[in-house]
A = this chain, B = another copy of it.
Amino acid sequence: MQQQISVVTLGIIDLERSRRFYTEGFGWSPVFENNEIVFYQMNGFVLGTWLKHALEQDLNLRDLRRPGAFSLAHNVARQEDVVPTMARLESAGGRIVRQASKPAHGGFRGHVADPDDHTWEIAWNPAWTIDARGFVSFGL
């Protein structure tokens, strides 16, 4: 079986509020959108932001909770990119949950929650490679 994830879908409350965070904060462009979902073509997979009640209906689950027991990370090319990226996300409706600092395992990172309490680590990790297409490889 392919070692592959096709879609990461985030449950959101307000489509426009979420869209602003991702398009203005990260500067990403949707590949598709309608009145309940926005899709972004990512590095080898697709990110969806979908109204939570529709996601719950699709999953056949109720009461999906926030903040969920997961996080997402966006790595940047240089240590000095971390703080400005976090500031831009905050300006676009995000909330700083951990100021940038050096973790024990190396690198430099901080955390920002999106408007729906989904947490993003903004990280500089020199051991991991990111190619020109944005494909990320694990490294030690």
Contacts and interface: CB of A to CB of B under 8 A. Distances in A.
B70 A67 contact: no
A130 B70 contact: no
Interface string A51-71: 010010011110111111111
Interface residues of A, number: 67
A4 B74 contact: yes
A35 interface: no
Interface string A4-34: 1111111110000000000000111101100
A8 B72 contact: yes
Contacts of A74: 2, 4-6
A44 interface: yes
B3 A138 contact: no
Nearest to A25: B1
Interface of A: 1-12, 26-29, 31-32, 39-47, 52, 55, 58-61, 63-76, 85, 97-98, 103, 111, 116, 118-119, 121, 123, 125, 128, 130, 133-138, 140
11 contacts: A1-B85, A3-B134, A6-B73, A10-B70, A32-B140, A44-B133, A45-B45, A55-B69, A64-B67, A65-B69, A68-B69
